[in-house]
Amino acid sequence: MSMSAPLAPTSREEDANAASAKDGEDPPGREVVVGVDGTEVGLGAVRWAAQEAARRSAPLRILHAAPYLGHPAATGGPPPELPRARGITAVAYTVARHTEPGVQSSTEVVPGDPVTALLRAAAAGQLVVLGSSTTGAADEMVLATMAAKVAARSPAPVVIVPRRRGAEPEGRPAVAVLGVGDRADDEAVALFAAATAQRSGVPLSVLQTRSSGRTVPASWVDDLDEWAQRFPDLTVQHSELPAARANQVLRATCPSPLIMISAGHGTLLHRSLDGPHLWLLRHCTSPMALIPPTDRHARGEAAPPG
């Protein structure tokens, strides 16, 4: 049986009033979810998630999945490992409050598998945020695999925040990488990217990676005039890198406030990402958003929010 253990504020009550969402954006009730594990990398994800929640006028849900939680104590009390789990969320809550005091923040401890807990939270949220060390070392495959499993099945976009190295890339555009999935997937990435760039007040760079020899239906994402008509206040740059490999995409996009790419369709049963996605998860030093393909909505899952 699942168990949650909220920490201050209890029952996820408000600690500040969130502003009303703008037209066309997710309502304040849809949470930004951030997974924490007690590491400094996880706290970096909390900082990023708190800032994004503020930009979206959304509440922040700090979630710690604790597979190490055992059975209740013999006296009938909570598991003896619960204070450790609550300590992890308490530190994360403090970091979130210091980062964005006006964001409604809450914490939750859930026993069991992190992937299952995060996917359940994603179904009710508008965005999932996770941290990753991204050193490129072999042991990072453990983190990359967990993030990949969440991103490959999440109905909401998943942002992977790497360990911070140096100053923020001021003046750099957010980047939308197209050509990974179907045309509908390109459009989902483009809409998410445009909304993100507008909220953040940065220009948008659109990188088309689809092979020049592949015939695809026409789409507004390739029409500069259509971009200008849909997003008149957004500065948009276009470039092409046909059939780009993962390392070429990385060189063309980093550093950036956020790189946005379709999570693709993965392998059989959509339970994992492909090799290029995994490589990017291990090596990208900028935050990266993986946008769910539109066919997840057709399978009865939630449509990807903006």
**Residues 111 and 187 placed together within one structural domain of the fold:** no
Residue 209, token pair as written in the block: 């990676």
Say if 303 falls within a structural domain: no
Q: Cα–Cα distance between 40 and 124 in angstroms, integer?
A: 26
Say if 279 falls within a structural domain: yes
Q: Return the number of other C-beta atoms located less than 10 Å from residue 91's C-beta.
A: 16
- Above pLDDT 90, what percent of the chain? 59
- Give the pLDDT score at 273: 65
Domain holding 89: CATH number?
3.40.50.620
Q: Cα–Cα distance between 246 and 252 in angstroms, integer?
A: 10
Q: Cα–Cα distance between 71 and 18 in angstroms, integer?
A: 37
Say if 143 falls within a structural domain: no
Q: Which residues pair with 238 in a beta bridge?
A: 206
Q: Cα–Cα distance between 163 and 1 in angstroms, integer?
A: 34
DSSP 8-state symbol, 234 = S
Say if 147 falls within a structural domain: no
Within 8 A by CB and 6+ apart from 287, the residues are 48, 159, 160, 161, 162, 257, 258, 259
Domain count of the fold of the chain: 2
**Residues 108 and 184 placed together within one structural domain of the fold:** no
Say if 246 falls within a structural domain: yes
Q: Which one of 132, 159, 191 terminates a domain?
A: 132
**Residues 194 and 281 placed together within one structural domain of the fold:** yes
**Residues 72 and 15 placed together within one structural domain of the fold:** yes
**Residues 97 and 200 placed together within one structural domain of the fold:** no
Chain mean pLDDT for the chain? 82
Lowest mean pLDDT among 14-18, 80-84, 99-103: 14-18
Say if 262 falls within a structural domain: yes
16 versus 272: which is more confidently predicted?
A: 272
Q: Which one of 108, 132, 156 terminates a domain?
A: 132
Lowest mean pLDDT among 23-32, 238-247, 271-280: 23-32
Q: Which one of 99, 115, 132 terminates a domain?
A: 132
170 versus 112: which is more confidently predicted?
A: 112
Lowest mean pLDDT among 21-25, 173-177, 183-187, 270-274: 21-25
68 versus 304: which is more confidently predicted?
A: 68
Say if 258 falls within a structural domain: yes
Average pLDDT of 138-163? Answer: 78
As a residue count, the chain comes to 306
Q: Which of 258, 51, 31, 185 shows the shortest CA–CA distance to 122?
A: 31
Q: Which residues pair with 223 in a beta bridge?
A: none
Instruction: Please write the tens of the pLDDT for every residue from 247-283.
Output: 999 999 999 999 999 997 654 334 456 778 888 888 8
91 versus 296: which is more confidently predicted?
A: 91
Domain holding 204: CATH number?
3.40.50.12370
**Residues 185 and 287 placed together within one structural domain of the fold:** yes
**Residues 178 and 104 placed together within one structural domain of the fold:** no
Q: Cα–Cα distance between 258 and 51 in angstroms, integer?
A: 13
- Give the pLDDT score at 217: 87
Place of tokens 């996880």: 42
Say if 169 falls within a structural domain: no
**Residues 250 and 191 placed together within one structural domain of the fold:** yes
Does residue 24 register a pLDDT over 60? no
**Residues 216 and 283 placed together within one structural domain of the fold:** yes
- Give the pLDDT score at 42: 93
User: Residue 296 in contact with residue 184, Cβ under 8 Å?
Assistant: no
Q: Which of 157, 167, 187, 171 shows the shortest CA–CA distance to 291?
A: 157
* pTM of the predicted structure, to 2 decimals: 0.84
Does residue 132 register a pLDDT over 80? yes
Q: Cα–Cα distance between 36 and 49 in angstroms, integer?
A: 11
- Give the pLDDT score at 170: 80
The phi and psi torsions of 32 (rounded to 5 degrees) equal: -90, 125
- Give the pLDDT score at 13: 34
Instruction: Please write the tens of the pLDDT for every residue from 41-67.
Output: 999 999 999 999 999 999 999 999 999
Domain holding 188, by residue range, is 174-298
- Give the pLDDT score at 280: 87
- Provide the strand spans (E) within 99-235: 105-111, 125-132, 158-162, 174-178, 204-208
